[in-house]
Structure formats: C-alpha cells, structure tokens
C-alpha cells in the first residue's frame, strides 16, 4: 500500500507541472493588471511603467514562469498586490477560517443526510420517504444565496440569534473558552445554511443504494439466518450502501479548503472563497495563481485519499 501511495504522489509531480503551466498562461491572458486600478488623471504613466518593469512584467514569459515556479516550490508565492502581505500568510489565515466552517458544515450535512437517506430507502414510498424526497428536491432547487440571505435576515437581523458577519467577537482573547465558543457561534448559521442545501446528493445516493441493497442476495441470506430486521439494516445494508459516499469522501475532505464563495460573501466570513473572488476582481495575480494551484493540488490529493479510503472500507479493492 505504501508503495502505491508513494508512486501516486510521484505521478502528481508532472500533473502539477502541467497544471501550473496552464494556470500561469491563463493568468497572463487575463486583461488588465494590478496597476490598472491605480491610474488616476494625476498618475504619471511613466511611473506605472516603472512599477511594471520592477514587477518583471516585461520579462519573457518563460523567465516569469521559471521565477514564479521556483519561488512557489519554496513556499513563496510572492506578495499580494492588494493586501501587501505575503500570499502564503494571507492564504494561511483564510484557509484556517474556511477549514473550521467547512468541517462544521460537512459534519452537519452528514448528520442530516445519512439518517434521512437510510430511512427514506428503508421505508420506500412511505409518507416519510416522500417528505424526504420532497425536501431534497426543494433544497437542491433553492439557490444558496437566496436561503443564505433569508436566514441572515431572519435569524441574524430580525431575531438577532446569530452574528451577521465576522469570525469571532473582538472582546475575547485568543485561546480562551469564550473565544472558541464565539468562533463556533459565528460559523453556526453559515454552516447550517450550507448543510441544509448540500444534502441532496448524499440523500439520493444513500436512498437509492439502500433500495438496491434491500433486494440483494446477501440481504436475503442475512434474513434467512433469522437476524432481526434492524440488524440486517445496520450490519448488512448500511455498510454496503455507504460505499459510494465513501468514494467521494476524499474529495469532500480536500474540497473543504475551497470554501463557498456565496456563503462566505453573504455572511461576511473571511475565508478562501471570498479571497478567491476578491483576488480575481482585483487582478491579484499572485493570489489567484497560488489559490488555483492549491485547489488543483488538493483535488489530486483528494483522489488519492478517496482510493485509500475505498481500500479500507471495501475489501475487494486493494491498492498494492
């Protein structure tokens, strides 16, 4: 297994190289540059030119690419033109925020979706099943920004149950219980919003899998042993039905870093999604390229992680 993992990681190097080249070229093709926004009627065009020279804008593209990739390999993605801080630091802060929010979101998502999916599948065509299917279709049809705005308005603004923006209350010192609680309190509403709308896939997959599994031969064998029906569900049907969900788990985990642009923007939560959209509109090349590189890397990692998870839960799949 370790051999496979190392081999897979080595294969990732050429994949990352191609990815970085594509990202670099596409970033270069984007119109405008960070200095475009600085131009005012009083700006001396010569000064702008000078800045561009300094930033290396007129070097040949391969030279620029080489500089960038070598620095990136050392963890230096340059400085953000907008925030004037090192990109690595900027992303580091945001990534942590996003990670907390995403972890809670995904936890709530599975907490809602797994029981509903299993119950809907078990009691197929019952009233409960119809309600669950209805819920999953409605939640799939509602755009995230609509529900996010509604929740923000009612629970944040009208009822004032939840804070409407930020990651933590400033009155707490870092490291205290109050600080931790305040952090969780701030991510609760965005996480619930995300979880409620993200359940469709998991519910539908599980429901279908449970319905399929019910008529499987091994379930009939289990029933012929005289095992109580609840045990048949927990020991035989449930685990087999979770396989497709497990197949996505790697991507889900690494995908957590990507954050949600809508949720973060609407709830004023400074995470990766928000950073990404801001860096694009601000032509903040160094941040964009670093983020896309990171997302690409986590996707590759996610597929590896999925394979490892699958090989753990399904004995028929062995990676060696």
Partner 1 sequence: MNTTQELPKIKHADNTQELLTIKDLHTGFRVKDTYYNAVDGVSISLKKNEILAIVGESGCGKSTLATSIIGLHDTNNTRITGEIEFRSLNLAKLTDEKLNNIRGNDIGMIFQDPLSALNPLMRIGDQIEESLIYHTKMSKKERTNRVLELLNQVGIPNPNRVVRQFPHQLSGGMRQRVIIAIAISCKPSIIIADEPTTALDVTIQAQILDLLKDLQAETESGIILITHDLGVVAEVADRVAVMYAGQIIEEATVEELFSNPVHPYTRSLLNSIPQTHSDNEKLEVIQGLVPSLVNLPRNGCRFASRIPWIPAEAHEADPQLHEIAPGHFVRCTCWNHFHFEGEEGGSLT
Q: Contacting partner 1 (CB under 8 A), which of 227, 247, 277, 319?
A: 227
Burial 22-38 (b: 16+ CB within 10 A, else e): ebbeeeeeeeebbbeee
Decide: 219 and 232 in contact? Cβ < 8 Å. Answer: yes
Question: Which region, judged by CB under 8 A, interacts with partner 1, from 66-74, 98-106, 234-242, 248-256?
Answer: 234-242
Question: Which region, judged by CB under 8 A, interacts with partner 1, from 84-92, 156-164, 228-236, 298-306?
Answer: 228-236
Decide: 290 and 83 in contact? Cβ < 8 Å. Answer: no
Told to check if 320 binds partner 1 by CB under 8 A, we report no
Contacts of 69 (CB under 8 A, 6+ apart): 20, 24
- Please, how many CA atoms are within 13 Å of residue 30, restricted to the half-sphere of its CB? 19
First to last CA, the chain: 5
Told to check if 221 binds partner 1 by CB under 8 A, we report yes
The distance from CA 199 to its chain's CA centroid, rounded to whole angstroms, is: 15
Q: How far is the CB of 247 from partner 1 (least distance, A)?
A: 14
Told to check if 239 binds partner 1 by CB under 8 A, we report yes
In the chain, count H helices and then E strands. 15, 0
Q: Contacting partner 1 (CB under 8 A), which of 40, 74, 160, 224?
A: 224
Q: Contacting partner 1 (CB under 8 A), which of 223, 303, 308, 311?
A: 223
Of residues 53 and 125, the one with the C-beta less far from partner 1: 125
Of residues 17 and 218, the one with the C-beta less far from partner 1: 218
Told to check if 314 binds partner 1 by CB under 8 A, we report yes
Give the footprint of partner 1 on residues 139-158 (CB under 8 A): none
Told to check if 47 binds partner 1 by CB under 8 A, we report no
Q: Contacting partner 1 (CB under 8 A), which of 29, 160, 315, 320?
A: 315
> What is the Cα–Cα distance from 58 to 60, expressed in whole angstroms?
6
Q: Give the number of other CB atoms < 10 A from CB of residue 282.
A: 17
Told to check if 247 binds partner 1 by CB under 8 A, we report no
> What is the Cα–Cα distance from 87 to 94, expressed in whole angstroms?
11
Told to check if 225 binds partner 1 by CB under 8 A, we report yes
The residue written with tokens 């996010």 in the block is 148
Question: Which region, judged by CB under 8 A, interacts with partner 1, from 26-34, 132-140, 181-189, 227-235?
Answer: 227-235
Binding positions for partner 1, rule: CB under 8 A = 216-218, 220-229, 231, 235-236, 239-240, 313-316
């Amino acid at each position: 297994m370790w051999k496979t993992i190392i081999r897979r990681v080595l294969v990732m190097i050429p994949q990352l190289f191609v990815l970085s080249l594509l990202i670099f070229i596409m970033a270069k093709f984007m119109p405008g540059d960070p200095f475009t926004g600085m131009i005012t009627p009083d700006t001396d065009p010569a000064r702008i030119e000078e800045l561009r020279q300094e930033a290396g804008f007129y070097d040949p593209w391969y030279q620029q690419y080489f500089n960038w990739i070598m620095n990136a390999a050392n963890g230096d993605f340059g400085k953000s033109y907008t925030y004037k801080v090192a990109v690595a630091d900027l992303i580091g802060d945001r990534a942590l925020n996003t990670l907390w929010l995403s972890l809670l979101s995904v936890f709530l998502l599975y907490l809602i979706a797994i029981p509903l999916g299993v119950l809907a599948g078990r009691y197929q065509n019952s009233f409960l099943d119809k309600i669950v299917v209805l819920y999953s279709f409605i939640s799939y049809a509602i755009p995230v920004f609509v529900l996010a705005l509604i929740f923000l308005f009612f629970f944040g603004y009208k009822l004032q149950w939840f804070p409407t923006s930020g990651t933590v209350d400033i009155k707490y010192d870092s490291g205290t219980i109050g600080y931790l609680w305040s952090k969780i309190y701030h991510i609760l509403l965005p996480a619930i919003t995300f979880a409620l709308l993200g359940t469709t896939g998991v519910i539908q997959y599980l429901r279908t899998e449970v319905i399929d599994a019910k008529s499987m031969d091994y379930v009939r064998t289990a029933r012929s042993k005289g095992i109580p029906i609840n045990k048949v569900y927990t020991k035989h049907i449930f685990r087999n039905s979770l396989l497709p969900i497990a197949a996505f788990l790697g991507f889900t985990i690494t995908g957590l870093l990507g954050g949600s642009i809508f949720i973060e923007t609407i709830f004023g939560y400074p995470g990766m999604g928000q950073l990404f959209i801001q860096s694009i509109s601000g032509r903040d090349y160094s941040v964009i390229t670093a983020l896309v590189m990171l997302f690409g890397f986590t996707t590759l990692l996610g597929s590896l992680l999925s394979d490892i998870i699958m090989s753990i839960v399904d004995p028929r799949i062995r990676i060696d």
